[in-house]
Chains A and B, each alone.
Chain A
C-alpha cells in the first residue's frame, strides 16, 4: 500500500469536517467538526513527515494540537457564555450580525 493513501484519508476527513461545519447548527458539534478538520491536517502532517523522512512535520502537528487545545478552551467558554445569555447553543440563534 502506498502511504499516500493516508493523505487521501486526511483529505476525506477534512472535507467531512468542513461539510459538517456548514451543515450542523449546534455550536458544540460545529466545534467538533473543526477539531476533525484539525486532526485531518495532523494526519497529513504526520504522513508528510514520514514521506520526507524528518520529524518537522510531527513538530508542526504537535503545535497544532496545542493550538487546538487553546482554541477549544476559549471556544467552549464562548459557547457557555452565549448559552447563558441566549439559552441556546444553536449558531443560527446568534444571528445579530446582519443589517
Chain B
C-alpha cells in the first residue's frame, strides 16, 4: 500500500509523456486519457489517505526512498518521497481539484485543435506539483518547483499565437526565475550549513545553525515563495497569467501552483520558527499583498483579472498566516484548501460565463446573466459566499481563524496585522460583490461584437457543470468539516505544530467584527453597482482606481526601476567596459600598433639605410668592447 507513492507521480507523468509524444493518433482520445489518469492519481491519493487515516497519529508519515540520484562522496542527492499529513492534504487537493478541472476542460477545450497537448501539459503539471509536495528533500522539491514553473509557462502561453499570451508566459517565467534564484540560494545555503538537502536532518539540525544563516535561508525561501505565489514584490505576473485558458487559471493560478509558496514556508516551519526576522518579513509580505491584491481586484473590469487580484489577496492571507508561526500554519493550509475549492469554483464559473459569452471577459458587457445560466449562477454564488466569509461556508471558518491568529500575534504588530486582515476582508466582500452584481445582476449590457454576432448566453454542458457543482459543495462544506472538533488542526498539527493563539479579542468579537466589515463591504458594493446601472464604459474614477486598473503601477514600477534602471546600469557598464577595459586593451594595441607603424618606416627598402643601422650596431659593439676593457 505504502509503495504506491511513486505511482501518484508516475501516473500523470505517464499521461504527459503519452499525450505529448503520442502524436496525432491520440487526438481523439487524448483528453479522455488525460482525465482518466488524473482521476487514477486521485484514486491512488484517496487510497493512501484512507490508509493513513487507519494508522495512529505518530505512524502516519511514511517515507519511500527510491534511489540515489547523484551519489558523490559528501554530496548525496536522493530521490525519495515523504507522505505526511501536509503532503497528503496537498495530494488530495491537487489530484482532486486537478481531476475536476480535467473533466471541466473536456467541455471547455472541446473545440480547440490543440486539446491533446493541453491535457498533456495539465498532466505534466499534476506530476510536477505532486513531485513538489511529495519530495523528501529540497533538491527534489526544486525539481518539482521548476516543473510546475515550466507547466505554468507552457499553459499561460498555450494560445501562443496571441502575442499577449506569449508575452504573459514569458513574463511569468522571468518573474518566477527571480524567485527560483531565491530557492536555489536557500538550497545551497542549507547544503553548506547542514551538508544535506533532506527535510528531516535539516529540520533536526536547524537549531544548531547561526541566526544569520537561518534568517538568510528564511528570506531566500520567502523570495522563492513570493515568486511562485505572486506576492509583493514579485506579484506582477499573475494578472497577465490570465491570458491562459480559464481551466489553467483555475487549477494552476488559483487553486494549486500559486499556493506552492505557502507550502514551502509551512514545510520549512522548523527554519522559520527559528528566524524571527524572516517571519516578520513573511507577515509583512502577506499583509501588503492581501491589501494590494484586494485593491486591484476592486478596479478590474476583466472578470478573470478581478479574480486574479482576489487570488493574490487570498494567498496574502495564507502567507500572513504562515508567517505567524505555529499559531498560523494550520490555518494557512486550511485556508489554502478551502480557497482551492472556492477559487477554483469561481474560476470555473467565470470560464463558464465566458464560454457562454463568446469569450467576452469584460464584466461591463455582462449583466443579468443569472436568468441565462442558473447553474453557473448558483455555483458561482456559493463560491462567492464562501470567499467573502459568509457564516457557515468554508471561507468563514478559514479566514476568521487567520484574522484571529493575526490579532493573536500580539502587541502592536498583532493589532496592525489584524486590522489589515480585517480591512482586507471588507475589501474582499466589496470586490466579490461587485463581480457578482456586474455579472449576474442588473440589466443585460452585452452588445454585438465587431462581426455583428450577438452572444447567446447559455448554460455550459454537463461535463463543465459537474465539476462546478462538486467544487461548490466543497466551498460550502469544507470549512465546516475541517472545523468540527478542530479536526483539521488535529490532522495537521503533528507536522506543522500548533499553538493556541491568545488573541486580545475573543473569537466572538473577531467574528462580529468580520461580520460587520462583511456587511459593510457588500453594502457599499450594492450601493455602487446594485442600485445604479453599471455604465458600459468605465468611468474615469479616482486616482487610486486608475492606479489599481494599472495593477497599482506594478509594471510601471518594474519598468522604471528594473528595466530602465537595468538598461541604464548596463549602458553604464558597457561604457565602462568600452572605455575602461577595452580602452586599456585597445590602448595597448594602439600603442603597439602606433609604435610599429613608426618603427616600420625604418624598413624603407633602402639598402644603404640598413647598412647605416649595421654600422651603428658595429659602432655600439666597438664602444661597448672598449668600455668593458676600460672598466675591467
Interface size on B, residues (CB 8 A): 10
Nearest-neighbor residue (CB-CB) of B607 within chain A? A91
B368, chain A: closest CB distance, angstroms:
90
Complex contact A22–B604 (CB within 8 A): no
Stretch of B266-274, B581-589, B608-616 on the interface side: B608-616
A85 at the interface (CB under 8 A from B): no
Indicate whether B606 reaches chain A with its CB closer than 8 angstroms: yes
Which A residues between 14 and 63 are near B, CB-CB below 8 angstroms? 18, 21-23, 25
Q: Are A18 and B615 in contact (CB under 8 A)?
A: yes
Closest-CB distance, A99 to chain B (whole angstroms): 5
> Interface size (A, Cβ < 8 Å)?
13
Q: Is the CB of A92 within 8 A of B600?
A: no
Is B605 part of the contact surface with A, judged by Cβ < 8 Å?
yes
* Inter-chain contact B607/A94, CB cutoff 8 Å: yes
Query: B73 an interface residue at 8 Å Cβ cutoff?
Result: no
Task: Give Cα A55–Cα B606 distance, bound, in whole angstroms.
Answer: 41
In contact, A92 and B603 (Cβ under 8 angstroms): no
Judge whether A98 and B612 touch: CB under 8 Å: no
The closest CB in chain B to the CB of A30 belongs to: B608
- Residues on B close to A: CB < 8 A? 600, 603-608, 611-612, 615
Please measure, in the bound complex, the distance between the C-alpha atom of A73 and the C-alpha atom of B230, giving whole angstroms: 96
Are A92 and B608 in contact, CB atoms less than 8 angstroms apart? yes
- Bound-complex Cα distance A18 to B605 (A): 19
B608 and A98 contact, CB distance less than 8 A: no
Q: Does A2 contact B (CB under 8 A)?
A: no
Is residue A1 within 8 Å, beta carbon to beta carbon, of the partner chain? no
Q: Does A96 contact B (CB under 8 A)?
A: yes
Residues of chain A within 8 A (CB-CB) of B615 are: 18, 21-22
Are A99 and B603 CB-contacts (below 8 A) given A18-B615, A22-B612? Answer: yes
A5 located at the interface, meaning its Cβ lies under 8 Å from any Cβ of chain B in the complex: no
CA distance A11 to B22 in the complex (A): 100
Across the A-B interface, the 9 shortest Cβ-Cβ residue pairs:
A98-B605, A95-B605, A97-B605, A91-B607, A98-B603, A22-B612, A95-B606, A99-B600, A98-B604
Q: State how many angstroms separate the Cβ of A19 from the closest Cβ of chain B.
A: 9
A91 in contact with B603 given A18-B615, A22-B615 (CB within 8 Å): no
Q: Which B residue's beta carbon lies closest to that of A25?
A: B608
A98 and B607 alpha carbons, distance in the complex (Å): 10
Our pick among B603, B604, B611 for the contact of A21 (Cβ within 8 Å) is B611
B-chain residues with CB within 8 Å of residue A18 when the two chains form the complex: 615
A94 neighbours in B (Cβ, 8 Å): 607
CA distance A23 to B612 in the complex (A): 9
- Within the complex, the shortest CB–CB distance from A1 to chain B, in Å, comes to 25
A95 to B607 alpha-carbon distance, docked (Å): 7
Q: Can you list 23 residue pairs at the A/B interface with Cβ under 8 Å?
A: A21-B608, A21-B611, A21-B615, A22-B608, A22-B611, A22-B612, A22-B615, A23-B608, A25-B608, A91-B606, A91-B607, A91-B608, A92-B606, A92-B608, A95-B604, A95-B606, A95-B607, A96-B605, A97-B605, A97-B607, A98-B603, A99-B600, A99-B603
Question: CA–CA, A22 to B607, complex, Å?
Answer: 9
Complexed CA–CA distance, A96 and B615 (Å): 21
Please indicate the chain B residues that have their CB under 8 angstroms from the CB of A97 in the complex: 603, 605, 607
